[in-house]
Amino acid sequence: MPHELPKAYDPSAIEARWAEYWVKEGLFEVPSSKIPTLGKTGQGWGTPVFCMQLPPPNVTGRLHMGHMLNHTQMDIMARWHRMRGFVTEWLPGTDHAGIATQMMVERQLASEGKQRRQMGREAFVERVWEWKRHYGGAIVEQMKRIGDTVDWSREYFTMDENLSRAVREVFVRLYEEGLIYRGKYIVNWCPGCLTAISDLEVVHEETPGKLYEIKYPVIGSNEFITVATTRPETMLGDTAVAVNPRDARYAHLHGKRVMLPLMEREIPIILDELAQPEFGTGAVKVTPAHDPNDFQAGLRHNLPQIDIMDETAHMNQNAGAYAGLDRFAARERVVADLRERGLLAAVKDYVVPVGKCDRSKDIVEPRLSTQWFMAMTKEGRNGEPSLAARGREVVARGEVRFTPENYKTIYLHWMENIHDWCISRQLWWGHRIPAWYCAAHQHITVARETPAKCATCGSTDLTQESDVLDTWFSSGLLPFTSLGWPEKTRDQEIFYPSTLLITAYEILFFWVARMIMFGCHFMRDHKQDAAIKQASGFADRGDDSVPFREVYIHALVRDAERQKMSKTKGNVIDPIEIIGKYGTDATRFTLAAMASPGTDIAFNPARTEGYRAFANKIWNAARFIFMNMDRGPRNTPTLGNSGQGWGTPETLEDRWILSRFHRTARELNEALESYRFDEAAHRVYTFFWGDFCDWYIELSKLRLNAREPEVALAALAILTHVFDGALRMLSPFMPFITEELWHALYGGKPELKSIALAAFPEHDDALISESLETEMSVLQDLIVSVRQMRHDLKIEPKVSVPIRVFADDAVRRLIEGNREAVERLANVSGITFVDSELSKVASARHTARFDVVVEYEKKVDTAAERARLEKDLAKMETELANARRQLANEQFLAKAPEKVVEGLRRRAGELAVLIEKAQTALQALA
């Protein structure tokens, strides 16, 4: 009566309801009031803690397949730990995403015919806030919809006041420690975004291009020196030509000067290792303002830096006649002019590595500019290791562990070759750098709050730095700032370091590496409570300053053809669409099942369709159980959280399914412990469908239909219990359907608010039995053999037929004890045991444990039967020959483990018998 479920599972009918329920009930919030104060007694708090930081999605973001995978894995981990009794804190938030958001709002403005610069900074920033309030919650809503069990009570935004204060605190401290500095260097400049960007934001592409050889006239001779370049337009800013001091070809030109063509400027020939004799002509033009290597060379030789471009990469006054031209137009003109003057020695095809802006795809311009940097390799004032050194150490030592392990090498390699980080951005949206300049001297005052006067000269005429910080600066701080830093909060005591970070490879350096560096620096005095650390399973990890102990890098999701998804290719699979079609559970299960380590995921909706069928299977198994509950007496056993209260297993199938269940629980937990989502999903899938539905439910029907109510009730009790456990196992993977069915099962009990708060199944070794499972497999073999014969003999499915069986006493007792099961599942009308082998009977089946034949007058298809036997025979003979060869090998007998030898002997014995039977049967057929 209460269990009215529709025949087919319809995810859309239940998912939104539970998504809302979970949020409304605040089921996954960990209120501070529930966290005990630590440390007073030295006793600590022995509860295991599981904490995870969400890679904060951009406010401009919408859920894509990568998120879906990432969130599925995180949610599985969160739910699994929570159900295992961990205090589980999964911290959600969103990222202000400087450039992305600013660009989005600028585009919106453009459609209204407005421009950011006309509006002014203040009005623009206000407009972005407005946009954020309006549209910034989209992805958060999507997270709620897919069932992420994050703690919404702790949700943050990276530009919240408290987080912004923390950002300033960090900036000031690092500046005071000399680890943040300001200076004029060559940076990566994006002429589209009009800002500097970091090395990481530059994507390198090998592009077919040209290598130009240009002749520079040597002053005081008729000679030319020829330089090679891929960027001829930059010659307008040349301030030297370099040759290698060891290069004999140019020895006679040492100390001479050349006339820079087009600009008619005299520049020196310098000697520098920059010029490599093997490359090109061995002479290289030096443009200190437009090339990082030339910049360094310029410093070495005290060369002037002539900046010939403006911020939009157009030539400026310094480019003389070329002023006003865009850099590519300038290139054409320069080349044409050189050719006209006969100064272009050669133009060769050449593959040029072009750096493009990650965001706008504009070609990045190396540009001389004053920016703020963070020193990566500089030691502390008292000789403390540099940020990079610390960040490297903790990973090298295994204080932070990567899965899959090969990312450790990649990370270490990157850390060892790291460069200073350009942290300033010429944007308006972001954390404004807390530095002020006095009008009179441009002295810098760095302060937490707006200072009243210049720290150096006391001037009160101060202007704040207009640049903002790289977005990754603030997100790199999240592991501690999201827990209330710089205050020493209880949250921090309990939840720092977080347990696990699950993220994409793409942001390993952008985010993960920075979090490690920041964390180790600012939390260096942090000690995690020993009892919590122990209970959480990290007693062996020394360093508590790390932001997290484990990092799991998930795969890339591609389309079904293994192509990288991209908007331009138009092959983007929208998870929301997939969810609409197959349900969230099926989508989640697909991603979990396909997440094998080391490979990208080729997302194929056909697979999701299969898992929708799985959900339907679960649904209908529930309907079957409910149907029986409704039929029988209403005193179903009390289950729920206790894990107690079901009847005593009496029958073989009961003990078998419990063995399978506990084995599955064991394997499932082991798989999840090593982040094998694919294996975990596979285990629970085959258990539920293969063991529980295909065999156990079918077997249970015998007893459920029994006359005696006690028998039916006992069967129902165990059936329900195993189903209850299976639901819990499935719950982290398929939260919606399991929640629905859980409530259908226990509805109305207020203490059972959610399956997500129930206990996850833990295995009991005492209930796992190898011999029991072997016994069951004999019965299964028998049933399958009979079904095969029925099929081969084309016996009508509805017709029951008697069978004859030959077996030893033990197997015979087993079959007799489960006679009804065999009769029902193989549609057999009676079992007769015989005392001699059945090999002479046409169509009989032989296994190592029994021979079986169906009694049926219909004619045997002799040809087909012979073909089958011959094929089997051939296979067995090869196998036996191999086995005998090995068993005759003394080396094998001496060196292989006893178990292997024994196993092979047994197998060889079986084969010999089976071959003999097959041969007899073949003769009988003839």
Residues 379-408 that bind RNA (CB under 7 A): 406
For every residue of 885-918, DSSP letters joined together read HHHH-HHHHHHS-HHHHHHHHHHHHHHHHHHHHH
Specify the residue, 47 or 620, whose C-beta has the smaller distance to RNA. 620
Query: Position 917: which residue type?
Result: K
3-state secondary structure of 47: coil
The answer to whether 61 contacts RNA (rule: CB under 7 A) is no
The answer to whether 771 contacts RNA (rule: CB under 7 A) is no
Alpha-carbon distances of 506 from 111, 333, 413, 562, rounded to whole Å: 32, 40, 16, 18
Q: Pick from 360, 571, 620, 641 the residue near RNA by CB under 7 A.
A: 620
Q: Pick from 276, 370, 466, 566 the residue near RNA by CB under 7 A.
A: 276
Specify the residue, 437 or 582, whose C-beta has the smaller distance to RNA. 582
796-815 binders of RNA (CB under 7 A): 797-798
The answer to whether 10 contacts RNA (rule: CB under 7 A) is yes
CB of 356 to RNA, least distance (A): 11
User: Among the candidate windows 165-173, 278-286, 482-490, 831-839, which touches RNA by CB under 7 A?
Assistant: 278-286
Of the candidates 570, 687, 664, 718, which has an alpha carbon nearest to the alpha carbon of residue 618?
Answer: 687
| CB 355 within 8 Å of CB 198 | no
Q: Going residue by residue from 293 to 332, which x/- string records binding to RNA, judged by CB under 7 A?
A: x--x------------------------------------
701-730 binders of RNA (CB under 7 A): 701
What residues contact residue 921 under an 8 Å CB cut-off, 6+ apart?
Answer: 839, 840, 841, 842, 844, 846, 869
CB of 596 to RNA, least distance (A): 3
- 840-873: string of b/e by CB count within 10 Å (b at 16+)? ebbbbbbbebbbbbbebeeebeeeebbebbeebb
Of the candidates 575, 581, 583, which has an alpha carbon nearest to the alpha carbon of residue 601?
Answer: 575
Q: Tokens 């437009």 correspond to what residue?
A: 290
Rounded (to 5) percent helix, strand, coil in the chain: 45, 15, 35
Q: Pick from 72, 102, 229, 545 the residue near RNA by CB under 7 A.
A: 229
Q: Structure tokens of 284? A: 């290289």
Specify the residue, 142 or 700, whose C-beta has the smaller distance to RNA. 700
CB of 835 to RNA, least distance (A): 25
The answer to whether 892 contacts RNA (rule: CB under 7 A) is yes
The answer to whether 598 contacts RNA (rule: CB under 7 A) is yes
Of the candidates 700, 382, 391, which has an alpha carbon nearest to the alpha carbon of residue 518?
Answer: 391
| CB 605 within 8 Å of CB 560 | yes
Q: Structure tokens of 297? A: 């060379």
Q: Pick from 211, 652, 887, 925 the residue near RNA by CB under 7 A.
A: 211
User: Among the candidate windows 41-49, 331-339, 424-432, 560-568, which touches RNA by CB under 7 A?
Assistant: 560-568
76-95 binders of RNA (CB under 7 A): none
Q: Tokens 């029925």 correspond to what residue?
A: 790
The answer to whether 562 contacts RNA (rule: CB under 7 A) is yes
Q: Pick from 204, 488, 524, 527 the residue near RNA by CB under 7 A.
A: 204
CB of 217 to RNA, least distance (A): 19
3-state secondary structure of 645: coil
Q: Pick from 91, 228, 289, 727 the residue near RNA by CB under 7 A.
A: 228
CB of 17 to RNA, least distance (A): 17
Q: What span, in angstroms and rounded, lies between the C-alpha atoms of 814 and 640?
A: 34
Q: Pick from 305, 426, 886, 919 the residue near RNA by CB under 7 A.
A: 886
**Cis ω for the linkage preceding 486 (within 30 of 0):** yes
CB of 229 to RNA, least distance (A): 4
3-state secondary structure of 827: coil
Q: Which residues pair with 444 in a beta bridge?
A: 437
Specify the residue, 32 or 276, whose C-beta has the smaller distance to RNA. 276
Specify the residue, 152 or 185, whose C-beta has the smaller distance to RNA. 185
230-269 binders of RNA (CB under 7 A): 230-231, 242
Cβ burial, residue 662 (10 Å; 0-12/13-18/19+)? buried
CB of 409 to RNA, least distance (A): 6
Q: In what order do the strands lie in the sheet with 344-357?
A: 224-229, 202-217, 344-357
Q: What span, in angstroms and rounded, lies between the C-alpha atoms of 175 and 139?
A: 35
Q: What span, in angstroms and rounded, lies between the C-alpha atoms of 760 and 420?
A: 47
User: Among the candidate windows 26-34, 337-345, 533-541, 889-897, which touches RNA by CB under 7 A?
Assistant: 889-897
CB of 242 to RNA, least distance (A): 7
Q: Structure tokens of 248? A: 């004999």
CB of 512 to RNA, least distance (A): 13
The answer to whether 906 contacts RNA (rule: CB under 7 A) is yes
The end-to-end CA distance of the chain, in Å, is 61
CB of 774 to RNA, least distance (A): 12
Specify the residue, 254 or 441, whose C-beta has the smaller distance to RNA. 254
The answer to whether 684 contacts RNA (rule: CB under 7 A) is no
The answer to whether 199 contacts RNA (rule: CB under 7 A) is yes
Q: What span, in angstroms and rounded, lies between the C-alpha atoms of 106 and 31?
A: 39
473-532 binders of RNA (CB under 7 A): 509
CB of 886 to RNA, least distance (A): 6
Specify the residue, 416 or 487, whose C-beta has the smaller distance to RNA. 416
Q: Going residue by residue from 20 to 59, which x/- string records binding to RNA, judged by CB under 7 A?
A: ----------------------------------------
Q: What span, in angstroms and rounded, lies between the C-alpha atoms of 897 and 877?
A: 25
User: Among the candidate windows 201-209, 385-393, 524-532, 654-662, which touches RNA by CB under 7 A?
Assistant: 201-209
What is the total count of residues that contact RNA (CB under 7 A)?
A: 101
| CB 705 within 8 Å of CB 638 | no
CB of 368 to RNA, least distance (A): 14
Q: What span, in angstroms and rounded, lies between the C-alpha atoms of 583 and 14?
A: 10
Specify the residue, 39 or 903, whose C-beta has the smaller distance to RNA. 903
409-428 binders of RNA (CB under 7 A): 409-410, 413-414, 417, 419
599-618 binders of RNA (CB under 7 A): 599-602, 604, 606-607, 609-610, 612-613, 615-617
Q: What span, in angstroms and rounded, lies between the C-alpha atoms of 847 and 849?
A: 5
Q: Pick from 191, 237, 282, 391 the residue near RNA by CB under 7 A.
A: 282
The answer to whether 891 contacts RNA (rule: CB under 7 A) is yes
The answer to whether 896 contacts RNA (rule: CB under 7 A) is yes
- In degrees and rounded to multiples of 5, residue 348 shows phi and psi of -115, 150
Specify the residue, 456 or 889, whose C-beta has the smaller distance to RNA. 889
Q: Pick from 279, 370, 777, 862 the residue near RNA by CB under 7 A.
A: 279
| CB 816 within 8 Å of CB 750 | no
Q: What span, in angstroms and rounded, lies between the C-alpha atoms of 645 and 523?
A: 48
SS (H, E, C) 550-598: EEEEECCEECCCCCECCCCCCCCCCHHHHHHHHCHHHHHHHHHHHCCCC
Cα 376 to chain centroid, rounded = 27
Q: Structure tokens of 295? A: 């910049």
CB of 554 to RNA, least distance (A): 13
User: Among the candidate windows 92-100, 443-451, 688-696, 808-816, which touches RNA by CB under 7 A?
Assistant: 688-696
CB of 889 to RNA, least distance (A): 5
Q: Structure tokens of 361? A: 């795809």
Q: Pick from 1, 7, 567, 835 the residue near RNA by CB under 7 A.
A: 7
Q: Structure tokens of 725? A: 């456990």
